[in-house]
Amino acid sequence: MTIEQIINKVKENDPKADIDILKLAYDFASKAHKGQLRKTGESYLQHSLHTSFILAQMKSDLNTIVAGLLHDVPEDTEYTIKDIEKNFGTLVAELVEGVTKLSKIKYRGIERYVESLRKMILAMAGDLRVILIKFADRLHNLRTLEALSPDKQQRIAKESLEIYAPIAGLLGIWRLRWQMEDICFKYLYPEDYKKIEYKYEVEKKVERTQYINKVRNVLDKKLNEAGIKHEITGRFKHLYSIYKKMQDKGKRFDEIFDVFALRIIVNDIADCYKTLGIIHAAWRPKSERFKDYIAIPKPNGYRSLHTTVFGPNNKSTEFQIRTKEMNEEALYGIAAYWRYKMEPGEKNKKNYKQPRWIKEILDLQRQAENTYDFINQAKFDIFRDRIFVFTPKGDVYDLPEDATPIDFAYAVHTDIGNQCIGVIINDKMSALDTKLNNGDLVEIIIDKKRKGPNNDWLKFVKTQKTRGKIKQYANKSRLENLKRFIPKLPHK
């Protein structure tokens, strides 16, 4: 890897970028790491360059890419944060310091695990770019895992799969998540990995390529006739998701891998819908598989049209239709955020909007009695798949899988939770312990005269937040009851 490659990548994303600062950072890093080698035998500087390149690929902003080059300087060389601040300014120095703090975790076993999760979450509350640098650093470390002892390989792969990858997903950086997962998969379950890789790369490859080309030819023609500029691609390879589906659903490879998937990138939103119309006219859609995430984006901001049709030979074929901007947001998530969502003069400020789940995690931390409680609950709440549930007004709430109407009610408002007496799910009266599904329309029935929650709800509610609210109410009323029994002392 060379600095020129990074400069080219940066220019590709932003032709006007100030590349002098990149060259300066490169000179600084090569001086600082001079003579240092990694376990792989390459120079240490290679690690800094790769980390920085991954950040450029993720379309991070320039400060982050510069900080990527410098991220191991304070930890591993005689230069300090102060030196970095003097040469590259406060923001770059803060980013590097954040990364340095994150990597100072020297615990072992479960403690290390718990601590690293806690520190990541705290760092997220600060500047999310610190996490991005840590992710890029980790991805390169995973790519060079070969050089470490089997013991360390297992530990790092496990930690990455259980902590880093899910957080990358939550931040919407899907590409990074998939890359990490496939490397970890290879180290943690080598036999399964080999089997699936063989099926995917060898057995199914010809069939897949032929089929996708066939669909592509038909569509190219129709879209060109309609004057729609477009780009059709297959999806990224992601072996771990195939493996997980096989595990979760107890199915064979062929049963999982029966859906072909294509992505169509067009110029604007109008073309997204026109393209959808053309696809539906060409092949019969499976009505239940159509999702309009452009009109109603997911709470993490994801936008795209999804549809599955009976394609050629009646094979299920899934399409994702989106604009270039939506595609970059979907692949790079929060990383691409600074490029699209910030005004030119604003690039150095930290006033980006945090996803709602980050706020939830911070609330959770305030409520928890100790770190272990917090970690266990956070793992439960955020590392499971989220579902998206709608209010009758069309507001969207994201909840953990298996959440109940009570969890939903408290997510909307504490009073709604406290006064909840019933629920209508998709126009049907339902029980309060019903498990909600993705896309459910949920209407909570309240009784304003109702004093508070039912303690029995604790038996089935799913989120810590709900549990906390119900207990809070119970404690408060116990205290009030108690007060009634304390005799008033006469004044002296």
Active-site residue (options: 12, 75, 258, 395): 75
Nearer to Mn ion, 129 or 386 (CB): 129
Alpha-carbon span 215 to 194, nearest angstrom: 29
- Minimum distance of Mn ion from residue 106's CB (angstroms): 15
Alpha-carbon span 1 to 132, nearest angstrom: 20
Active-site residue (options: 76, 115, 192, 433): 76
Handedness of CA 480, 481, 482, 484 (dihedral sign): positive
Q: Dihedral of the CA atoms 363, 365, 369, 370 (nearest 10)?
A: 180
Q: Which of residues 122-151 bind Mn ion (CB under 5 A)?
A: 137
Long-range contacts of 207-214 (CB under 8 A, 24+ apart): 208/234, 208/260, 211/260, 211/311, 211/312, 211/313, 211/315, 212/260, 212/262, 214/312
Alpha-carbon span 198 to 204, nearest angstrom: 9
Site string for Mn ion, 70-99 (x = CB under 5 A): --x---------------------------
Q: Which of residues 21-80 bind Mn ion (CB under 5 A)?
A: 72
Amino acid identity of residue 7, one-letter, is: I
- Minimum distance of Mn ion from residue 351's CB (angstroms): 28
Nearer to Mn ion, 64 or 365 (CB): 64
- Minimum distance of Mn ion from residue 151's CB (angstroms): 20
115 is catalytic: no
Alpha-carbon span 135 to 464, nearest angstrom: 28
Which letter, b or e, does each residue of 256-286 get, where b requires 16 or more Cβ atoms within 10 Å of its Cβ?
Answer: bbeebbbbbbbeebebbbbbbebbeeebebe
Nearest residue to Mn ion on Cβ basis: 137
Nearer to Mn ion, 72 or 182 (CB): 72
Burial class (CB in 10 A: 0-12, 13-18, 19+), 489: exposed
76 is catalytic: yes
Alpha-carbon span 53 to 133, nearest angstrom: 11
- Minimum distance of Mn ion from residue 47's CB (angstroms): 6
Catalytic residues: 75-76
Residues of the shown chain interacting with Mn ion in the complex, contacts defined by CB under 5 A: 72, 137
